[in-house]
A and B are shown apart, each in its own frame.
Chain A
Amino acid sequence: MRSYLPAYRLEAPRDLGAALERMAREPGVWKPLAGGTDLMVLLEAGKLPHLNFLSIWKFPELRGIEFTGEHASLGALTSYTEIRCHAALLREFPLLCRAAAETGGIATQNRGTIGGNIANASPAADTPPALLVYDAEIELVSAKSSRWVPYRNFHLGYKKMDLRDDELIHRVRLPRMNRGWKQYYRKVGTRRAQAISKVCFAGAALVRDARIADVRIALGSVAPTVLRAVETEKILRGEKPSQHVLHAAQEALGREIAPIDDMRSTARYRRRIAQNLLAEFWEKISA
């Protein structure tokens, strides 16, 4: 059933400062609304519980992709289209670009934002596994303060975030990647386009002298939040690629994830696919 429109307020503060003031003055009353690709779906389905929103879509302070010597930094309103087409991101952070290109169709990519993807906190979102692999940090701002938090600590549980009522996501930054990382991303869904993932896998590995000097692995749709597979990484780190090590890592991954049966897939299928994707990643890094 549709939502009752007169119950919903959406206002357009003149700038970010005004929006943050409003959120500070009336704590918990206002939530930001960016491109609407998640919230408007809930509205139409009659499932949008929150009633008061501030449109942040037009704030230039929240836009733009910048590179410094240490970081790539993306404003929270950076769209999937901007990410997937950005030459420097494509060179250095291909997993993020791949994830953006696999999220929805062109129309969704034009409106969906990186900050929205994070704040919607879906465990099945496509960009978070890439953000986890890149050790992303996010900047949270309020009228009074700003703080950077490691993205891997941001999701506290299913749809629970380290985000106060008066805060919103300002920027996302990724430490620059040294050359030589081998990177892998694969989303498995019912069809190639316009499908929410059954399992999504992002991995990067640094191989030196035939050993895995460093490795980062993250998955979506296999736990209440997107997940960095730290136990699996431990098994792999420092090892020479061998079937024995791969099997140990696959077992660790099977223990580390907690997939469920739902409308999109089954726990059993998801666990098997996650392990198969690990093997495919393995092939890529040992080649």
Chain B
Amino acid sequence: MPDRARKIRVECTVNGRPVILEAYAMARLLDVLREQAGLTGTKEGCGEGECGACSVEIDGALVNSCLVPVLQASGAAIRTIEGVANGERLAAVQQAFIAHGGAQCGICTPGMILAAVNLLSRCPEPTEDQVREGLAGNLCRCTGYIKIFESVIAACRQSERHA
């Protein structure tokens, strides 16, 4: 196939820092974040929008970064797993995943945490059904889901105590 495309410059912010990325317009945001921004916390699972391992937030909305061409991230505010903690202080969801065994092999965990954090930002006191729905796009192949759901519920309780 002929090379017809040239790399473009995409200006956006990642975890609050302005960055300029250079990539083919159709390159997946996932690859550009990992390979150019060096943010390897975002994982690739299926590469087809089924597993949620590559979840990031774009302008506050949860997305699968494997399905976003980087051109469409131009001007956007992106948050990856590296931007969830406040410096050294882990977010409530992250602490709860540690305390309640929500992580095992760790591949789905960044996406699970992004999905959970995103859910709690929209819906601070979710029911169990809402937690299940909020995480329905994130697949885990080792812990099962119970400990993950428990972690998210525990994170809500902890946030309430701190409120």
Task: Enumerate chain A interface residues (CB-CB to B < 8 A).
Answer: 4-12, 33, 35-37, 40-41, 43-45, 51, 53, 55, 57-58, 81, 104-108, 110-111, 192-194
Q: Which residues of B50-97 have CB atoms within 8 Å of chain A's CB atoms?
A: 50, 52, 55, 61-64, 66-69, 71-72, 74
| Inter-chain contacts of B62 with A (CB < 8 A) | 106-107, 110
| Contact indicator per residue, chain B 23-48, by CB within 8 Å of chain A (1) or not (0) | 01111100000000000000000011
> Is B15 interfacial (CB 8 A cutoff)?
no
A12 touches B71 (CB 8 A): yes
Chain B residue at minimum C-beta to C-beta distance from A195: B50
For the complex, give the distance between the alpha carbons of A58 and B133 in Å.
Answer: 27
> Is B137 interfacial (CB 8 A cutoff)?
yes
A36 touches B67 (CB 8 A): yes
> Is B3 interfacial (CB 8 A cutoff)?
yes
B24 touches A194 (CB 8 A): no
| Inter-chain contacts of A10 with B (CB < 8 A) | 5, 25-26, 69, 71
Known: A5-B24, A6-B24, A40-B28. A107 touches B49 (CB 8 A): yes
For the complex, give the distance between the alpha carbons of A28 and B66 in Å.
Answer: 27
Task: Enumerate chain B interface residues (CB-CB to A < 8 A).
Answer: 1-5, 24-28, 47-50, 52, 55, 61-64, 66-69, 71-72, 74, 115, 118-119, 132-139
A7 touches B55 (CB 8 A): no
B66 touches A8 (CB 8 A): no
14 contacts between A and B (CB under 8 A): A5-B24, A7-B4, A10-B71, A40-B49, A40-B67, A41-B48, A41-B67, A55-B25, A55-B69, A55-B71, A105-B137, A106-B134, A110-B63, A192-B136
Give me the 8 closest cross-chain CB pairs, A-B, nearest first.
A105-B137, A193-B136, A7-B1, A10-B25, A6-B3, A40-B67, A8-B26, A110-B61
B67 touches A37 (CB 8 A): yes
Chain B residue at minimum C-beta to C-beta distance from A34: B72
B136 touches A40 (CB 8 A): no
For the complex, give the distance between the alpha carbons of A5 and B22 in Å.
Answer: 13
Indicate which residue in B25, B47, B52, B63 contacts A44 across the interface (CB closer than 8 Å).
B47
For the complex, give the distance between the alpha carbons of A7 and B1 in Å.
Answer: 6
For the complex, give the distance between the alpha carbons of A111 and B138 in Å.
Answer: 16
Chain A residue at minimum C-beta to C-beta distance from B138: A105
In angstroms, how far is the closest chain A Cβ from the Cβ of B63? Answer: 5
A4 touches B47 (CB 8 A): no
For the complex, give the distance between the alpha carbons of A58 and B71 in Å.
Answer: 11
| Inter-chain contacts of B48 with A (CB < 8 A) | 41, 44-45
| Inter-chain contacts of B133 with A (CB < 8 A) | 106, 193
A10, A11, A58 pick with most chain B CB within 10 angstroms:
A10
B25 touches A51 (CB 8 A): no
For the complex, give the distance between the alpha carbons of A105 and B136 in Å.
Answer: 6
| Inter-chain contacts of B139 with A (CB < 8 A) | 194
| Inter-chain contacts of A44 with B (CB < 8 A) | 28, 47-48, 66
For the complex, give the distance between the alpha carbons of A37 and B66 in Å.
Answer: 9
| Inter-chain contacts of B136 with A (CB < 8 A) | 105-106, 192-194
| Inter-chain contacts of A106 with B (CB < 8 A) | 62, 115, 118-119, 133-134, 136-137
